[in-house]
Structures are given as C-alpha cells and as structure tokens.
C-alpha cells in the first residue's frame, strides 16, 4: 500500500494539482485584498460610505441598532448576511475574470510557440475532370429505372 501511495504521489498530475491548489490559495488572498482594499472603498465612495460587508437583515432574535455583522452573529441572532454574500459573488467574479485572462494568455503563448502548420493545398478538379467522372459513373450503371434514358 505504501508503494502504491508513493507511485500515486509521484505522478505528474498529482504534483501539478498540488501546485495549482497552493497557487490558488495564494491567489485567493490577493483577490480578497483587491476586493477589501481597493473595490470596497470605491464602492463606498459611490454609495456614500456604505460598507456592504456589514449589511444584513435580522431574521430572529434581537440585535442592537447599528451593530456590526460580527456582533449580530455573536448575539445569537439569525441574520441574513446579504452583504457578505454580495462580496463573495464579487470575489468569485474577480477570480473568474483573472483565470480567464490567465488561460487566454497561456493559449496565446502556446499558439506562438507551436510550429506553423503546413497547409496542404489540394487542387480542385477542373470542370472537364468532373464531367468525365460523371460520365464514367453513368457508364458503369447496370440497373436502370423507368425514368432513366435507355443506353444506346
């Protein structure tokens, strides 16, 4: 079992996957910082200082007016944290856009690095060659239906 596990870990795909997960975790930290440190302040300016991360509705329980989302959760109240959800959606969209741009750049680099494909130019048959082929096919027909012109 240990030998099989060692072989499994030594496969290239597993190593690539592990590297991808580690880079993804680091990339998530960058995206969270972009949202919290760059986008939220801009949204705050546009919306008059509204902080979306602390927007919530109290479903049950009591929460003091103006309490933060963390304080509302700590009080044991059931809260509908739509602001946190909106920020999570925004994080997702930013990550998806960045991954799209990354894949697009990698595809462009792969196309540039690939050797040019040789184009095989096949000459189209001339009209005379096509007519000769049709004539030969008609001459080889052995079964004629009622509508066909009989052979001479």
Nearest to 44 by CA among 55, 59, 32: 55
pLDDT at 150 over 60: no
Nearest to 84 by CA among 95, 99, 68: 68
Beta bridge partners of 58: 79
pLDDT in tens, 43-90: 778 877 766 778 888 888 888 888 888 888 888 889 898 888 888 888
**Under DSSP, is residue 58 helix (H, G, I), strand (E, B) or coil?**
strand
Where does the pLDDT of residue 143 fall: very low under 50, low under 70, confident under 90, or very high at 90 and above? low
pLDDT at 4 over 70: yes
At residue 84, the pLDDT reads: 85
pLDDT at 9 over 80: no
Beta bridge partners of 78: 60
At residue 147, the pLDDT reads: 54
Average pLDDT, the chain: 81
pLDDT at 117 over 80: no
pLDDT at 35 over 80: no
The helices-and-strands tally (H runs, E runs) of the chain is 6, 2
How far is Cα 77 from Cα 62, in angstroms, rounded to an integer?
A: 6
pLDDT > 70 fraction of the chain, expressed in percent and rounded = 90
129 vs 35, residue with greater confidence: 129
**What are the φ and ψ backbone dihedral angles of 4, each rounded to 5 degrees?**
-65, -40
CB 117 within 8 A of CB 82: no
pTM confidence score: 0.52
pLDDT at 142 over 80: no
């Amino acid at each position: 079992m240990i030998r099989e596990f060692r072989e499994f870990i030594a496969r290239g795909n597993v190593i690539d996957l592990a590297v991808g997960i580690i880079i993804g975790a680091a990339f998530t930290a960058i995206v969270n910082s972009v949202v919290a440190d760059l986008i939220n302040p801009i949204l705050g300016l546009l919306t008059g200082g509204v902080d979306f991360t602390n927007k919530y509705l109290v479903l049950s329980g009591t929460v003091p007016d103006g309490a933060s989302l963390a304080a509302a959760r700590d009080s044991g109240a059931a809260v509908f944290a739509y602001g946190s959800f909106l920020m999570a959606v925004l994080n997702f969209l930013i990550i998806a856009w960045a991954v799209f741009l990354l894949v697009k750049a990698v595809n462009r680099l792969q196309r540039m690095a690939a050797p040019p494909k040789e184009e095989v130019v096949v000459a189209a048959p001339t009209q005379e060659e096509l007519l000769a082929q049709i004539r030969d096919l008609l001459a080889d027909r052995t079964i004629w239906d009622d509508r066909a012109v009989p052979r001479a």
